[in-house]
Structure 1
């Protein structure tokens, strides 16, 4: 197989039979146990100083996103301005990790973010359905990379995965990874369509073995999107993958994360499951649109003792 595959497991990704044997050989997920552990961790209390640090960390992990058919260059420019300076009245507020747009708007985002540390990410591979030919998916990716995207968020073919055509999924991820060049690849599993936690674990490993730099819960277009138990399963997968291969892979939770309280729950989950090394925008991201405003409101409340008005921060 091609060099983007994890070397120690290259033989696993050689046929449907070897992939099926490996993935079915992974330990099964105790659904009740995963639900209970995620629920328990979500009750952890975070005090004032730690809460302020957690909010700033969460802001720095946000992929500020607009993925609508009505997106315009003006909307993308406004979002980029907010990404760099989330709170215009407070220059100490951290910038977000990245903005995520459709491929045809990457150039607009690149221009708007020139000179800033905020990365430009783009969805590709016939997002959000993934229902297209490999040639189109590769071309979609190449378009975004040529425009300057530093990160690519691709979707797997869930139909192929659920039908057992695991090699097709692996080969598509590998081909898209090659098309990424130097850009990082986030592989979206769309966990709401995978039905079981065992499938989430298997899809996570399949993506990592095929060259994913990140594994991502969802497109945000399917319900349920990110959940704490599903993210727990994915964090266990990246932890175990690193132990087996020495290669660290990131996780992105996306869709349905709307409040600072939600974000802090995810940070606790990351720390307690994968470890503190993953508490870094290089290894954990939050895909959201409405989340950032609540993080900023909570940040201002901690600093001033009062909440901003509902129209203080821009709506994206």
Structure 2
């Protein structure tokens, strides 16, 4: 880790790019002037990195690291306080029989469940529970089809209820129509709504919904747009459409974060979400991060995994490494 870490996205946008965001035309020129993505080369690199073998001792470390990076998520209409409470207890103590298992990074819920999650985390772990963040989706998740004042009210309500992190969705219709400045200004407005009077501001994760952006060039443009707007994290997807996180579309975002840091010194986090269900999947993403951004990004404040069922598989693989056998089906709770 460097002795003096780079600036974070919570600070003012990089002055080097002030001209690029001065007008809609300037932003369009900048985003369309970014190097095009070589789809064949990108997919080949992602596939090659996915074949890396991780041996036993390194695998044990990687499994614990992956657990510590999980945003343990439930975003269903049938969510109840009891379900949220059980999820929070699991997030603080993923394996009740082994207190050496690390805590997850965050519990991700709808805005109306933020206060419930915060109370449940405090009850489940006290000081330990306080280290697990509460993340809330907002801005009319998952489609984002609402007026800006509604989106801002959604965000402010979640922050007031105790959310440490806000996961917003961009207006894909505006983005795909080329109204880039509108999207940038909306992200900036939501960022301002993350401010907390008398306390630490909530961090902002910006969700692209890569499956709807359709092309790698669009994903690269969305990445730069969100980073210029002040995102703390960029996130692949809501998990509510057919195509969510893939190694290739995540690699585009990791490369954009790498290039943005080289140009500005600003650290931006990355969160793939949706479709990451197995330990093998999770380890592939850790390899992508390590090979693209280096091991200083292998920490929960810079990389997250949005998932619901992934934790169960990680725990079963963790026990296999410890005991030499797989646990029975009742070893982990069913989410």
Please state which band the TM-score falls in when normalised by the shorter chain. over 0.9
Question: SS of the counterpart of 2:282?
Answer: helix
Equivalence for 2:323? 304
Contact 1:4 1:210 in 2 (8 A): no
Measure how far apart 1:167 and its partner are: 0.7
SS of alignment partner, residue 284 of structure 1: coil
Name the residue aligned to 1:213.
232
Cα displacement string for residues 172-193 of structure 1 (whole angstroms, at most 9, x for unaligned residues)? 0000000001110000000000
Secondary structure class of the residue paired with 1:169: helix
Q: How does 1:1-316 map to 2 (within 5 A)?
A: 4-114=12-122, 115=127, 116=129, 117-181=131-195, 182-316=201-335
Conserved? CA contact 1:4–1:178, under 8 Å: no
How many Å separate the matches in 2 of 1:4 and 1:239?
19
State the superposition RMSD in angstroms: 0.8
Question: How many residue pairs are counted as aligned between the two chains?
Answer: 314
Task: Decide whether the 8 Å contact of 1:6 with 1:210 is kept in 2.
Answer: no
Post-superposition offset of 1:4: 4.5
Query: Aligned equivalents of 2:117 and 2:309: distance in 1?
Result: 19
TM-score (norm 2): 0.93
What is the CA distance between 1:131 and its match in structure 2?
Answer: 0.5
What residue ranges of structure 1 are gaps of 5+ in the alignment?
A: none
Please report the TM-score for the alignment, with normalisation by the length of structure 1.
0.98
CA contact (8 A) 1:192 1:225 kept: yes
CA contact (8 A) 1:124 1:137 kept: yes
Point out where structure 2 has 5 or more consecutive residues left out of the alignment.
1-10, 196-200
SS at match of 1:261: helix
Q: Residue 254 of structure 1: SS of its match in structure 2?
A: coil
Quote how far apart the aligned CAs of 1:113 are. 1.2
Could you say which residue in structure 1 is the equivalent of 2:5? Answer: none
Residues 140-196 of structure 1 show CA distances to partners (whole Å, capped at 9, x for unaligned) of 000000000000000000000000000110000000000001110000000000010
Q: Distance in 2 between matches of 1:223 and 1:286?
A: 18
The Cα of 1:312 is off from its aligned counterpart by 1.4
C-alpha distance in 2, partners of 1:241/1:161? 20
